[in-house]
Structure 1
């Protein structure tokens, strides 16, 4: 099965991934704010356990954010390379056509 894609589609995908990442980070900030508000009034072992869980959650969320941004950057870079290759191929074909016609 062949995959057909354009540089513009790759660029749009990279931007979409970055947008989804930003939306996710906004949601995580809201959750963090709510948890911080509750943490001020919650005491005891359960609060400590939950705090530890939230710390791990934030660490994992940071890893996901970094991975999403790396993916978006790699796709964007691929789009640039793809566009350059397409341009080079077009120029090459134009040159060949010119030589054959002349």
Structure 2
């Protein structure tokens, strides 16, 4: 099975992943603002549990965002490596004088 790709397709994919990461971050920021107003409603052990849940949720969101950005960076790096390989193969073919 042969795999085919083009660097412009890879760039589009990387940009899409970054866009998704930004959208996720915006949604998380909005939700955090809405949940922030609930903070005063919690007391005692319920407040501790709420605060711990918020920390875990923020950590998970940060991890998701870092993962998405890492995926985008990997796609871009693979695109550059793919293009370099294509350029190298083309240069080798040009030296054959066929």
Q: TM-score w.r.t. structure 1 length?
A: 0.86
Residues 1:43 and 2:42 are matched in the alignment: yes
Distance apart, 1:2 and its partner CA: 2.5
Which ranges in structure 1 are unaligned for 5 or more consecutive residues?
Answer: none
Distance apart, 1:90 and its partner CA: 1.2
| Greater Rg over alpha carbons, structure | 1
CA distance in 2, matches of 1:63, 1:49: 21
Matched residue pairs, number? 97
Which ranges in structure 2 are unaligned for 5 or more consecutive residues?
Answer: none
CA distance in 2, matches of 1:5, 1:42: 53
Q: TM-score w.r.t. structure 2 length?
A: 0.89
**Considering only aligned residues, what root-mean-square deviation do their CA atoms show, in Å?**
1.3
Residues 1:8 and 2:22 are matched in the alignment: no
Structure 1 stretches of at least 4 aligned residues deviating more than 4 Å after TM superposition:
none
CA distance in 2, matches of 1:37, 1:26: 18
